[in-house]
Structures are given as C-alpha cells and as structure tokens.
Amino acid sequence: MELYDLITLYSDRFIPVFIRIAVMLGFIPFIGARMTPMIVRIGFALALTLLVLPVAEVRTDNLMGAVLEGMFMGLSMGLAARIILTAIEMASQWINLQLGLGMASVFNPLVGETLGPITFFFTLLGMLIFFMLDLHHYYIEAIIRSFEVTSVRYEGIFQGIIEHSKIMFPLALKIAAPILLVQMLINIAMGFVSKVMPQANIFFVAVPLNIFSGLFFIILSIPVMLAVAARYFINVKDAISVITR
C-alpha cells in the first residue's frame, strides 16, 4: 500500500495521531534537539504515525477534541523526561558558577543556546543515561499504549506531572552536592589563609584551585551522578504509566 493510500484510508485519524507523536518527540533528547534537522524530526514522527495508525483508537466525531487530547498527552509524556534532564542541567549550572566558569561559554547545538562547558558536558551525560536505560524504546511503547486510553483524565495527569516535577530540585542538589561541598570548604580555607596572611594575594591562588579541584571531583563523582540520575530516570516510567493507564 502506497503512502498516499494509507494516509487517505486513515485520514480521519492521521492528524490527531501525528500531532501527539510529534509533540512527544519534541521533548526526547537528541531526537527533539534543535541540532536534528527538521526534515529528520518530521520524517521520524511521520514514520511512527504510519506505524501506529492501523491500531490507534482516536475520536473521529470531534477532530478538535482529539487534537487537543493528542497535544496534552504528548506534552505530558515528553515533560516526564524533560524534568529529569532539566534537573541535571540545573546542577551543572550551579557547578559552573562555583568553579568560576560562568564567564566561559560553549554553544550547545542540542538546545540552540550558549551554555557553560560543564553544563554542556552534563547535558550530553544526561542524554547518554536516557538512551542507556532504553527509555526511547519505552516512549515508543508508551505512545502506542496512550491510544488505549478511552477518557483522558486531565486533572489526574496534570497533578501527576506536578508531583513528578517536585523531584527536580532534590535531584539537582544531589548531583551538585559533592562539588559544592568541596568548593565551600576550599573557600573557607582560603578565608582563613587570607586572615593569617593578609599580604598574600588569595585571589590568584583560589581561582585556579577552585577550577582544578572542581574538575577533579567532578570526575570522581561521575559514577555517583550516573547512579543517582539513573534511579530518578526510572521514575519517568512510573509517570508515563500514570498517564497511559
């Protein structure tokens, strides 16, 4: 069956299904990144739409209602993963400021913004965890299960996303805590040194010491960061299960 014939056969369901999948893919790392060409993103969403169309159950009596439901479901499932990635980026920005690298900047093609070097590294690390845990395959399965939902529970889903978003700050703090603690101890030590030796230029000692010690402890804390982030990424599956049940 040709592409045109398939779209014509399921024309009453094509738009709601395509919008739901496209909105969800816009929040998935790498696939929804700005560095990914638009034609690739649209093509991937179209391929998934054609795969799901024969089995998708969509309201055909109210096209506008089906489109709004699709946007809401896709946005909810996408935010479940984006919240975790945002927490990782938040932690890396705190580390950037503590290391004195706030002035340094690297263009991040994933989001189309200029970020600190540590933020860029942690963003790539978060993407790596996402794909290592096979969450991209779980999202494809979830988008198919979402069409089995006969009645979208807007209030329950919205409340679930709010509860899920509460883990953002604790996760960011857990990731950044080792480096922030070390930097605080170094600053306290430098304060004592400046009181003992007022003639010493502490600034020229503290800045490189902060950077090198911060980078050293970042390398040491990567296994801990991976374990903590992976445990929180598992919550994404729970959040999606609440949305699609």
| pLDDT (tens digit per residue) in 112-168 | 556 667 877 888 888 888 888 888 788 888 887 777 776 777 777 778 778 878 888
**CA atoms of 82 and 69, how far apart (whole Å):** 20
Mean pLDDT of 29-41: 73
The amino acid occupying position 157 is I
Mean pLDDT of 70-91: 83
**Residues 3/30, Cβ–Cβ less than 8 Å:** no
Global pTM value: 0.78
Q: Where are the alpha helices (DSSP H) in 36-167?
A: 38-52, 63-98, 117-132, 135-146, 154-165
Grade residue 102 by pLDDT with cuts at 50, 70 and 90.
low
**CA atoms of 178 and 44, how far apart (whole Å):** 40
CA trace torsion 147, 152, 155, 160 (10° rounding): -20
Report how far apart, in Å, the C-alpha atoms of 113 and of each of 79, 108, 120, 245 are.
19, 5, 10, 36
Nearest to 45 by CA among 66, 22, 72, 77: 22
Residue 113 pairs with which residues in a beta bridge? 108
Which is more confident, 72 or 5?
A: 72
